[in-house]
Structure 1
Amino acid sequence: MHLRFLPLLLALGVMTLPVRADLRAEATESLRRGVAFFTTLNVHGGYGYAATPDNAQRWGESPLGPAEVEVQPPGTPAVGESLLRVWQVTGDDVALAGARAAAAALIRGQNRHGGWDHTIDFSDLTNETVSFDDNQTQAAIGFLLKLNREIDDPALAAAVERSIAMMIATQLPNGGWPHRYPAGGDYHDYATFNDGGINDCVAVMILARRLYPDDGDGGIDRSLRQVARFMMISQLPPPQPGWAQQYNEYLQPAWARTFEPPAVCPAVTVRNLETLIDLWLELGDETLLEPIPDSLRWLRESRLPNGKWARFVEIGTGKALYYDRGRVRVDSVTELHPERRTGYGYETDLSGHLAAVTARFEAALELGRKGLRARENTALAESDERTRARLEVTVRRIIADQEASGAWISREDRFKKVMPRGVRWNGEYEQMDRVRSAVFNRNVALLCDYLELTR
């Protein structure tokens, strides 16, 4: 079990906490009611990011049509995984039915290439785009893989096979994956790390390799070795041994959108170090750890005076780069249009991520593959009274925040005002009571963690 939301609370070891039967019963009932309500918000089995409690208005990255659902997390695949986990932990048949319905929605929306765009519109299923942006296609495959391991469904098995074949077919000759497929003759064709594109591709192929260790012709293994090589050769040279957001066919950092210049990118670099460790754990190639020390040094040295890291660092000079639409370069975040200043993360605090990947790398050197795998895959946790108290406070808060209907409602939820087509966002927000998929997914994960930890 991977305790995604409790890494600072729990140390690996043997579970010694006394079971609180009353709170376990309340947590189980909370999950049952939460699932019973949330599944009423489905459209053809799928979900968006948010909806009004009566499901009359629905949103993804923008307002959704009446027959439209989101593939991008925290939408349909992420909700499907939450429902699957509830069934695995509690045996709730409503949760399993919801997970199967979410899978059916994805299968129906799977295009002829075997992948997905960021939304599915059930009134028009002609979309042929495979998007690797923002964990869209990858999240869909990951959920279907996990459900396919649990149930016998020929349509599900066939969709999984098609999706893995698609992952192999869309991999670029250099070993990376593009932003989108099929090729369109623009930056979407480039090998893209931005928003975790290639990283999420690696993660889903590792999952496929573990669930399907013999894929016939060794295509999954070969694909992972190809992307491992790409990550090694795409690292930029000293004194800036990081990675760019995207690379053209000549392995050069390249422009994407007009505010995304070719540059060294600290956030991309941190994610890539995690992925290199993942690939090392999976493939056993010791050379995959070799780029990490130089990159860690560069990351520490490239921190801005305000304690954050620039999204883009100019190649050669090391200066922070800030671009608005139209390739308009400015000198600071404050000079950017509100659309860019608040919606893109030109400066971010990577200190926590940097500390985590540094600790993981040091553990890799100390423990080796077997030891690190054992530590990261341990299903139980050791804790003390203080940690138990924190866990119980969190669970009780989740239960207290739940409505009688079973909904977790974000009161006066604040979100960007939708502008007319062609008009840039002007900095205005709207507020409305909404039920958010991200909140549902988070609460489900925490409640399931608690039930598993106190079993």
Structure 2
Amino acid sequence: MLVYQRAVGGWPKAVNEVKVKYDHPLTAAERAAARAVTSKPDATIDNDATTREIRYLAGAFATTRNPAYLAAAEKGVRYLLQMQYPNGGFPQYYPDLSSYRHQITYNDDAMIRALQVLRDVSRRANGLEVLDATLAEPAQQAVNRGIECILKTQYVQNGTLTAWCAQHDEKTLLPVKARAFELASLSGMETVNIVRFLMDTENPTPAIKKSIEAAVAWLEAVKLSGFAVKDQPDPKQPKGFDRVMVPEAGSVIWARFYDLKANRPIYVGRDSQPRPALADIEYERRTGYAYAGVWPAKLLSRDYPRWQQKWNSNAPQGRNN
């Protein structure tokens, strides 16, 4: 883990297109090769990279008291602080801002995981209390900026607050396209953990409460009742199965993407053309990407009601943290 850390402080998610796997013992040659490319600009917060290593190394230091582990974890936190935009957003990669990597990235919870690490640093909690105490204040400031960015990027549709796109332009803050099959849209997946992060705010401000309530209302409004997504055996298909959306009484799912104008579910293949049904896109994408799921279910049935009970209209107001 230490040899893969980049000079800038973060970690890559893959090396030479191969996913980094820490359960793979490195040969002397592999170790030397990794150390030779520490200046590569491929550090990222995508796919748990960097946030995973910070937490693991902090835990390893708590167990072993090895100062190298602590130093690496603290350097990782400083990387998160450095990569954050002044408006509070986080790019997917830093310092490589090519292609869509420069966009504010909620996709796969990248920005939210970074903010959760910084929140734990600021609170000196969840294993990160072993880190340098002087990191707590800048981490708190970064969390505050992150919350402001979240509030400003929540999409307003016909005058109504709704949800978030998986990625937003870092200047205009509007929803934008990333990969060919990830159009500017509203996300039934990423919105969930954004809301959970906001709900973990101590003494939420009226703006935070409004944001949470609007997003929950949107998730309730766009749910697809009476359907389920299943992988059904199909020997005619390359993988031996097909992924289909089928009627199922009592089931509720959400689309990954909804169009920005009318909240219609959209399913997009590599041709970037939005289509109304999962069956309308190519097999490779249909079975290789999560276009529908139950992501908001526990948020709506368990987490939000608990938050509502805790922070009712008479709850004290406070700062964003």
Instruction: Pick one of 269, 281, 306 that aligns with 1:360.
Output: 306
How many matched pairs? 261
Q: State the shift of 1:205 in Å.
A: 1.0
Residue-by-residue CA offset, 1:114-159 (whole Å, 9 max, x unaligned): 1111134646321431111121211111111223234322211211
Are the counterparts in 2 of residues 245 and 265 from structure 1 also a CA contact under 8 Å? yes
Q: Which residue of 2 aligns with 1:246?
A: 167
2:13 corresponding residue in structure 1: 118
Of 181, 189, 193, the residue aligned with 2:94 is 181
Distance in 2 between the 1:240 and 1:221 partners?
26
1:270–1:354 Cα contact (<8 Å) kept? no
SS at match of 2:223: coil
Of 97, 119, 137, the residue aligned with 1:206 is 119
> 1:159 matched to which residue of 2?
72
8 Å CA contact 2:164–2:190 kept in 1: the answer is yes
Q: Which one of the candidate residues 318, 326, 346 is aligned to 2:263? A: 318
Q: SS state of the match for residue 220, structure 1?
A: helix
Separation of aligned partners in 1, 2:120 and 2:284: 36
Q: Which stretch shifts more, 153-162 or 356-365? A: 356-365
Task: Show the counterpart of 1:264.
Answer: 186
| Cα shift at 1:356 | 2.8
Larger radius of gyration: 1
Deviation string for 1:238-290 (max 9, x for gaps)?
Answer: 53511110011210100000000001112111111101022x13xx4434233
Are 2:202 and 1:293 equivalent residues in the alignment?
no
- Corresponding residue for residue 107 of structure 1: 2
C-alpha contact (below 8 Å) 2:41/2:96 kept by paired residues: no
* 1:341 partnered with 2:268: no
Code of the aligned partner of 1:200: R
Inter-partner Cα distance in structure 2 for 1:342 and 1:360: 35
Q: What is the one-letter code of the residue matched to 2:167?
A: Q
Deviation per CA, 1:313-332: give whole Å up to 9, x if none: 11111111111103133331
How far did residue 222 of structure 1 move?
Answer: 1.0
For residues 62-104 of structure 1, the C-alpha deviation after alignment (integer angstroms, 9 at most, x for no partner) is xxxxxxxxxxxxxxxxxxxxxxxxxxxxxxxxxxxxxxxxxxx
Report the TM-score when normalising by structure 2: 0.75
> Structure 1-normalised TM-score?
0.54
1: CA distance, partners of 2:257 / 2:187: 5
Cα separation, partners in 2 of 1:134 and 1:357, compared to 1, 3 Å: farther
Distance 2:46 2:254 in 1: 22
Distance 1:171 1:285 in 2: 22
Question: Cα deviation per residue 1:29-70 (whole Å; 9 max; x = unaligned)?
Answer: xxxxxxxxxxxxxxxxxxxxxxxxxxxxxxxxxxxxxxxxxx
Q: Using the alignment, how far apart are the partners of 1:239 and 1:137 within structure 2?
A: 35
User: Which range moved further: 360-369 or 342-351?
Assistant: 360-369
Greater relative contact order (CA < 8 Å, ≥ 6 in sequence):
1
- Residue 197 of structure 1 aligns with which residue? 110
1:111 alignment partner, SS class: coil
1:309 is paired with a residue whose SS is: strand
Distance 1:173 1:141 in 2: 23
Between 323-332 and 106-115, the greater mean CA deviation after superposition? 323-332
SS in 2 for 1:261: coil
- Cα RMSD after superposing both structures: 2.2
Q: Is the 8 A contact 1:244 1:253 kept in 2?
A: yes
**Gap runs ≥5 in structure 1:** 1-105, 370-455
Aligned match for 2:61, one of 148, 152, 160: 148
Q: Distance in 2 between matches of 1:364 and 1:179?
A: 34
Question: Offset at 1:113?
Answer: 0.9
Aligned partners of 1:165, 1:155: CA distance in 2, in Å? 15
Q: For residues 168-198 of structure 1, what are the alpha-carbon distances to aligned partners after superposition, in whole Å with 9 as ceiling and x for unaligned?
A: 0011122111111113332111110010101
